[in-house]
Amino acid sequence: MHLAAHFETRYRHAGYYRSIRKRIRELCIHERIDLIHVDLLAMTQYVDRQLNIPAIVDLHDSMTLLCQRMLNAERDWRKRVFAYLGLISVKRLERALEGTFDLIVTNSPVDEQVIRELSTKPRTLTITNGVDMEYFAPDSTLPEADKIVFTGVMDYAPNEDAALYFVEDIFPLVKAKRPQAQFWIVGSGPSRRVQALTRIPGVHVTGKVDDVRPYVRSATIFVSPLRVGSGVKNKILAAMAMEKAIVATPLSIDGLDLADNREVLLAQDPQSFADKVVRLLVDPEEIRRLGTNGLDCVRSKYSWGAMAKSLESAIHSVAASTAQRTAR
């Protein structure tokens, strides 16, 4: 997506690219802008380093890390070539950021480390994702027996892979011990491959929904079978805020201060994953324990209030540092 944005604007729509750069430059000069804050890698191309205005970019995730993991997971040689070329390009883009931005923000230490290794002296900071504790709050909804849910934007390759992986490799093992189990894939843009999973008894694909909360609240457990991806997974934080017991792959909790058998159950292979799902489906006390621990964790560490304070502090620090350099 980020590479496509650069290609589309710089080369296929060069006039549009130049006009946006010019407009931003004029705005910064005429309005005497003190600091530029850029969201996501695709938007960094519009910042002119000659402006000499302090700038912060929030990458969220390192695309280098994501592309590397997708390359590692791909088996088809043609797709591997494509993934490798994408990795080279995105590395170049992320390596160049230190020349324009005074601070590069990511949402997990794992992503931050990748950015630090790409450049010589980047100034980086991790400000992890938060969760709206009022919106994603537990309520009195009684969970439906043996209902398992996974949420996400389903045309995003890591989520598509996770849905396929669970249905094809894990769910049959669950059904062997819990024949009535139902698996709900909730989220917009399901690909044809994901939609086709509904041919399997017990699998439901909703497509876009107005509100994911009823689906999560009515589930016995939440699963995150991600095998590729980067950054902090908001779906994990939201499920924990709703006091749900979670079974996840280790990659799913990258950048989060969570521990196996404390806030979540972790599983790397299909059999282990299925065993832990079944374990929860038959153990209400374990569900309550994990749900309570998860809720306590997000309340203390991942509220938006705490994250906002970190960002505000970073902005003041960058502005002060720039002012000191200018005064010399």
Is residue 105 domain-resident?
yes
User: Tens digits of per-residue pLDDT, 194-215?
Assistant: 999 999 999 999 999 999 999 9
**157 and 254 belong to one structural domain:** yes
**160 and 285 belong to one structural domain:** yes
Q: Left if phi > 0, otherwise alpha if psi is -120 to 50, otherwise beta: which for 250?
A: alpha
Domain edge (last residue) among 102, 129, 156: 129
Domain edge (last residue) among 99, 129, 159: 129
Is residue 234 domain-resident?
yes
**99 and 71 belong to one structural domain:** yes
Q: What is the mean pLDDT of residues 77-99?
A: 91
Question: Treating both helix axes as pointing N-terminal to C-terminal, what angle do 157-165 and 63-73 enclose, rounded to 10 degrees?
Answer: 40
Is residue 17 domain-resident?
yes
pLDDT reported for residue 1: 47
Is residue 165 domain-resident?
yes
- pLDDT confidence of 135, banded at 50, 70, 90? very high
Concatenate the DSSP letters of all residues of 207-256 into one string.
-S-S-SHHHHHT-SEEEE---S--S--HHHHHHHHTT--EEE-GGGGTTS
Q: What domain range includes position 203? A: 147-302
Is residue 170 domain-resident?
yes
**115 and 161 belong to one structural domain:** no
**69 and 157 belong to one structural domain:** no
**209 and 153 belong to one structural domain:** yes
What six digits make up the tokens of 9?
């604007």
Q: Alpha helices, DSSP H only, in the chain? A: 2-7, 14-30, 63-73, 77-95, 109-118, 157-165, 171-177, 192-195, 213-217, 234-241, 270-281, 284-301, 304-327
* pLDDT over threshold 90, residue 191: yes
**160 and 260 belong to one structural domain:** yes
pLDDT reported for residue 56: 94
**119 and 175 belong to one structural domain:** no
Could you tell me the sign of the dihedral formed by the alpha carbons of 51, 57, 62, 63, in that order? negative
CATH number at residue 186: 3.40.50.2000
**80 and 166 belong to one structural domain:** no
Q: What is the mean pLDDT of residues 276-297?
A: 97
Is residue 137 domain-resident?
no
pLDDT reported for residue 66: 86
Q: What is the mean pLDDT of residues 299-327?
A: 79
Q: What is the mean pLDDT of residues 313-319?
A: 87
Amino acid identity at 276? K
**164 and 268 belong to one structural domain:** yes
Q: What is the mean pLDDT of residues 66-83?
A: 87
Mean of per-residue pLDDT scores for the chain:
90
Q: How many domains does the chain have?
A: 2
DSSP-derived secondary structure letter, 135: T
pLDDT reported for residue 306: 76
**49 and 163 belong to one structural domain:** no
**121 and 162 belong to one structural domain:** no
Is residue 323 domain-resident?
no
Rounded (10°) CA dihedral 164, 165, 168, 169: 180
Domain edge (last residue) among 98, 129, 160: 129
User: Tens digits of per-residue pLDDT, 110-124?
Assistant: 889 999 999 877 789
Q: What is the mean pLDDT of residues 265-275?
A: 98
Is residue 33 domain-resident?
yes
Q: Quote the pTM value.
A: 0.76
